[in-house]
Structure 1
Amino acid sequence: MSRAIFFDLDGTLTDSGPGIINCAQLALAHFGIQVPDRDQLRVFVGPPLRQSFARFGVPPASLDEAIARFRARYVPIGKFENTPYPGIAGLLDRLQGAGYRLFVATSKPQVTAQEVLEHFQLARYFERVCGASLDAGRETKEDVISYLLAQIGDPGQVVMVGDTAFDVLGAKVHGIPTIGVTWGYGQVEAMREAGAAALADTPEQLEALLHTPGVFSPAPPQALP
């Protein structure tokens, strides 16, 4: 039976924090919201933008404008203020060589995720890259995984790899376990509380966990539409 790994992107494969935080800070400032401590803006890395802007006080009626202002800088500049984590390219190469099927499931817009992966020469490791849609019709990690499963059919056995509780909870809806990585932007305790199957502190630990019997679960019996 084949084994598939669904990877998150931001905070898992690449350190996209600087670009995302720069763009979030700019968009919040437009609404008069000043956040002197940039570390507080780390929560923008991973979750859907709509949730994060609401958390910082952007009114519901202004969320679309906040996202538009974020993307106005992120698309040409911010998405490349980003670097792959050390050891990730080698990990992907070894996993692909060992016969694992690799996919990306990210809350980042799909077109941007593809551009980032191609820019850093990581796209070649993945059978398919799935992300959010620009019209907010597909936004959460649960939505993205639903879409990915519908696109690829039966992937065999599956595990999710991500750095936040959003990854753990989105995969859990589909009966997919998650290995949380601690080098990203999520909170370790939050991943534990959400039910992460295991935690990895380094790509080497992650690789060892992926080779551990029992870490993968059977794919959901039916992909949600």
Structure 2
Amino acid sequence: MNTPRTHVLLDLDGTISDSSPGIGRSLVHAFTTCGYDAPDDERIRSMIGPPFEITFPKLGIHIDDIEKVIGVYRERYDDIGLFENEMYDGVTDMLESLRSDGHTISLATAKPQGTAIRIIEHFGLSEFFARKVGATDEIGPGRRTKGEVITHALSLLGVSPHDRIALDHVIMVGDRDHDVEGAHLNAIDCIGVSWGFGSFDELNSAGALTVAHHPREVAGAVATAYRSDPT
């Protein structure tokens, strides 16, 4: 079933930019301020991507403290941390190639939407994105998971969840298993990228359609990766 893609949804952290310095320093600040041991580099990497309310309990944060730790984290991150961030080499060329190929590009990140937009503007990339969709700020009802973010992005793009043909034209690109899983929950495929915070094994095990190892490979993968399930 050779269905050419027309819409590409892109993750932010670990796909467009290496945000680990600012996230890491802000997490250390939040954990220690709230009386918890500072996370090491491995634990920090594990927290980048999914909502913190999912990862914090796995790292010993008491459920009653989650909102407080997130609040302290955001105080530093929103002021300083989001700019302790570096765009990966080749990302601008990747975006240019996708646009030249006629794709509509949208941002789909589990990072809070307002923060994500500030980062995209900081890197001068706003012109590439038809839609910039992120998570809502508060824990609870709203967009928090990658699946919920993708659902909202598809809605803004006018892609019906019941239109199999329209969904076949959309693909997600991201670096973590939750990008793949969120795409599958919305009945679209996902191309994994190995230069971010996940790994080839993580992405492959989650069911990524293929894994790109450099931004220059993404446009070609989008052009050639058709639906994995022909039914």
TM-score greater than 0.5 by the shorter chain = yes
Are 1:140 and 2:145 matched, yes or no?
yes
Aligned to 1:165: 177
SS state at 1:47 partner = coil
Aligned to 1:184: 196
Note the C-alpha offset of 1:9.
0.4
Counterparts of 1:41 and 1:190, CA distance in 2: 17
Note the C-alpha offset of 1:215.
5.3
Note the C-alpha offset of 1:2.
6.3
Q: Deviations over 1:45-76 (max 9, x none)?
A: 11111122222111111111111001000001
From 92, 95, 112, give the equivalent of 1:92.
95
| Count of residues paired in the alignment | 218
CA-atom RMSD in angstroms: 1.9
Counterparts of 2:5 and 2:72, CA distance in 1: 42
- The 1:215/1:2 distance shift into structure 2, 3 A limit, reads closer
Aligned to 1:204: 216
Note the C-alpha offset of 1:214.
1.7
Are 1:119 and 2:122 matched, yes or no?
yes
SS state at 1:211 partner = helix
TM-score by length of structure 1 reads 0.91
Aligned to 1:154: 159
Asked if the contact 2:5–2:171 (Cα under 8 Å) also holds between the matched residues in 1, the reply is no
From 47, 51, 62, give the equivalent of 2:50.
47
Letter in 2 for 1:179: I
Letter in 2 for 1:154: V
Gap regions ≥5 residues in structure 2: 161-165
- The 1:91/1:147 distance shift into structure 2, 3 A limit, reads same
Counterparts of 1:112 and 1:132, CA distance in 2: 10
Counterparts of 2:7 and 2:218, CA distance in 1: 14
Asked if the contact 1:53–1:66 (Cα under 8 Å) also holds between the matched residues in 2, the reply is no
Note the C-alpha offset of 1:154.
2.4
